[in-house]
Amino acid sequence: MSDTETLKVYAEAAGRYAAGFARTKDTDQEADYSAFKALLPDGGRVLDLGCGPGHWTARLRGDGFLADGMDASPEMAAYAQSTYGIDVQVSDFHELSAMAGYDGIWANFSLLHAPKIEMPDHLEHVRQALNPKGALSLGMKLGVGESRDSLNRFYAYYSEDELLALVEAAGFRVVKTRRGNGEGLAGQDETFVVVTAHA
pLDDT of residue 1: 56
Encode pLDDT of 69-99 as tens digits.
999 999 989 999 988 999 999 999 989 999 9
109 — pLDDT class (breaks 50, 70, 90): very high
Encode pLDDT of 126-166 as tens digits.
999 999 999 999 999 999 999 898 788 888 999 999 999 99
Amino acid letter at 121? Answer: D
| pTM, entire model | 0.90
Beta bridge partners of 49: 70
One of 3.30.70.60, 3.40.920.10, 3.40.50.150, 3.40.30.10 is the CATH number of 4-198, namely 3.40.50.150
Q: How far apart are CA 33 and CA 81, in angstroms?
A: 22
pLDDT exceeds cutoff 80 at 5: no
CA 192 to chain CA centroid, Å, is: 13
Tell me the CA distances in angstroms from 29 to 47, 63, 139, one per residue in order: 17, 16, 10
Q: Among residues of the chain, what percentage have pLDDT more than 70? A: 86
pLDDT of residue 24: 46
Contacts of 138 (CB under 8 A, 6+ apart): 107, 111, 163, 167, 194, 195, 196, 197
pLDDT of residue 56: 95
Q: Phi then psi for 146, rounded to 5 degrees?
A: -130, 145
Contact, 72 vs 88, CB < 8 A? Answer: no
Contact, 163 vs 67, CB < 8 A? Answer: no
